[in-house]
Amino acid sequence: MEFMPDFGADWRKKFRSDLADLGLIFLDPTNKPIETVDEVQLLADIKIARETENYELLASGRDVRHIDLRMCDMASFVVANLDLDTPTCGTWEEIFDSNRSKKPVLVRCLQGKRNAPGWLFWTLPHQHIFSTWEEIYTYLRNVDAGIDNESYGRWLFFDLAGDKVR
């Protein structure tokens, strides 16, 4: 988010709009569901902090990391957008942390699946790495419809109403 002109908000808005019919609840790091630091202002301050070597100011955004990782904890699945030409750090931590929880982590790589880092293929099922948003949309619609019967050890669906509890 830090190095994106829109802080990564545009793709998230489009994703949410394009899948609105699925009734998903979105936890969006660009629109946090908690009172916190003004992240847009913080990201602007970070640039100034680097230039002036004000490391106290630079480190003042620790709450952002805490909240974003907690949102990953709460998520049933995670969607990440990778542009290999844009430096990122938090996205990688969120991918790997969510992977350790064995939840589905769906990654769209702007440069195409075949160009995604090998480490990603060694971490996630390759069926969860995509070249386009349309591929992710199709995949999620199939999961929602029960068409995708292969969980790759990730998808678990709990009966929270208790109808299927034995």
Residue ranges per structural domain of the chain: 9-145
Residues near 19 by Cβ (< 8 Å), separated by ≥ 6?
A: 137, 140
Exposure string over 31-66, b if 16+ CB within 10 A, otherwise e: ebeeeeeebeebbebbeebeeeeeeeebeebeebee
Whether the predicted pLDDT of 145 surpasses 60: yes
Structural tokens at position 158: 């709990």
Angular region, 80: left φ>0, alpha ψ -120 to 50, beta rest: beta
Q: Residue 1 and residue 79: Cα distance in Å, rounded?
A: 14
What pLDDT does 104 receive? 96
Structural tokens at position 43: 């990201």
What pLDDT does 2 receive? 64
pTM: 0.88
Q: With cut-offs at 50, 70 and 90, classify the pLDDT of residue 24.
A: very high
DSSP 31: B
Q: Residue 132 and residue 79: Cα distance in Å, rounded?
A: 12
Which residue has better confidence, 155 or 71?
71
